Amino acid sequence: MTITGKGTNVRPLAPGRCARLMVADIDGGRPRLVYETRDSALEAPNWSPDGRWLVFNQDGLLLRVPAPAGEAAGPEGAAGPEAGAGREAGAEAAGEARARAAAAPEAGAGAGAGRAGYGPEVIDRGPEVIDSGGITDANNDHLLSPDGRTLYLSAGDGHIHAVPFEGGPARRVTNDHAPGPFRHFLHGISPDGRTLAYVGVEPYGGDDWGYRNIFTIPAAGGPDTRLTDSPAPADGPEFGPDGDWIYFNSEHGAAAPGHAQLFRMRPDGSGLTRLTSDERVNWFPHPSPDGRHILYVSFPPGTQGHPADREVILRRIEPDGGTPRDVLTLFGGQGTLNVNSWAPDSRRFAYVDYPVHSLATP
């Protein structure tokens, strides 16, 4: 699938590498391939609350593919993709993906390419572009409302926007801040769908990106609430499934610049608690829907920020901390697990890796 003619926020792949949308089980087992491309980087999957869709960004656009067959339905028993997923299919995007797979089957790219050892879960249709109201520079910070009707995304104008998941006009959620520039990077939504949690980036010490703190705002629009106010960078705020905590990563108390660890706090900013204390650099904590696990990306010691193209470990801990447990080791980082990607059943999650071509397909 080639969509760079429509999107305006293109992240090239590193030479010799591809991007794969994968699904894994939190308790182990072989991950399953959902979609693979060598055109440009896809990033940051979300799993829709009804279990039917995986959503990701590529080239500044938001796309979706049916979740693999046999995956969990939503909490009310919604049927899987075979029961009507893709009724609003973007024929052009899907057709491009199928054409690409047919043109280069030996390369193992494109949608519908069967993979020995991956089983029948590999989808047989390509991704479809979600109509995001003319936004073509979305980044990898996006999520779905708990009812699955609204897609919230951060865009190149520095604001958070809401669009219908079935496509339609975009509504700006966030406010202008003087003197600016002020950028909003979305990461969390409360269980009742009424409140968004985001990272606000403000100038500090001559650096437009120097002050990164956590805020909330009503999903319908309204006043911002600042939860942290510190030069120690914070990122990735997400509500737990009961709404009692916000989980995030921060350099608060770090002995060296860049040494982010995981924390949680109450939605009013109180009760700050550190969850990890190790030599690795830990980012993007994602609570599972059942509240039993926190899945996150762990970078090698000494990493600055959350860069792309690193060997990283996906780890899990309990909601109140404890000893980390390794889930997967892969080549990725930025784009792998930026947003919550848990399946509704809390047993599976989606992620993106960026392996070398020759290693991508067994």
Q: 129: left (phi > 0), else alpha (psi -120 to 50), else beta?
A: beta
Q: Residue 270 pLDDT more than 90?
A: yes
Q: Is residue 290 part of a domain?
A: no
Q: Using 50, 70 and 90 to split pLDDT, how confident is the model at 22?
A: very high
Write the pLDDT tens digit of every residue in 92-104: 443 343 333 333 3
Closest CA relative to residue 61, chosen from 86, 39, 34: 39
Q: Is residue 124 part of a domain?
A: yes
Q: What are 157's two structure tokens?
A: 């104008």
What pLDDT score was predicted for residue 353? Answer: 98
Enclosing H/E stretch for 351:
strand 348-353
For 334, half-sphere exposure in the C-beta direction (CA atoms, 13 angstrom radius) is 14
- What are the start-end ranges of the H helices in the chain? 91-103, 357-360
Q: What are 280's two structure tokens?
A: 């690795």
Mean pLDDT along residues 67-94: 41
Between the alpha carbon of residue 99 and those of residues 1, 13, 125, 242, the distances in Å are 8, 21, 11, 44
Q: Is residue 11 part of a domain?
A: yes
Look at residue 119 and give its three-state secondary structure: helix
Write the pLDDT tens digit of every residue in 159-217: 999 999 999 999 999 999 988 899 999 999 999 999 999 999 999 888 888 899 999 99
What pLDDT score was predicted for residue 80? Answer: 34
Q: Is residue 72 part of a domain?
A: yes
Q: Is residue 160 part of a domain?
A: no
The CA distance from 354 to 37, in Å, is: 10
Q: Using 50, 70 and 90 to split pLDDT, how confident is the model at 357?
A: confident
Mean pLDDT along residues 348-354: 98
Q: Is residue 89 part of a domain?
A: yes
Residue 242 CB partners (closer than 8 Å, separation 6+) = 191, 291
DSSP annotation of 103? H
What pLDDT score was predicted for residue 87? Answer: 29
Total domains present in the chain: 1
Specify the pTM.
0.85
What pLDDT score was predicted for residue 183? Answer: 97
Mean pLDDT along residues 312-341: 98
Q: Which of 79-83, 141-145, 306-310, 354-358 has the lowest mean pLDDT?
A: 79-83
Q: Using 50, 70 and 90 to split pLDDT, how confident is the model at 249?
A: very high
39: containing domain: 1-140+340-362
Q: What are 224's two structure tokens?
A: 């911002």
Q: Is residue 299 part of a domain?
A: no
Mean pLDDT along residues 59-75: 75
Q: Is residue 70 part of a domain?
A: yes
The CA distance from 210 to 203, in Å, is: 5
Supply the mean pLDDT for the chain. 86
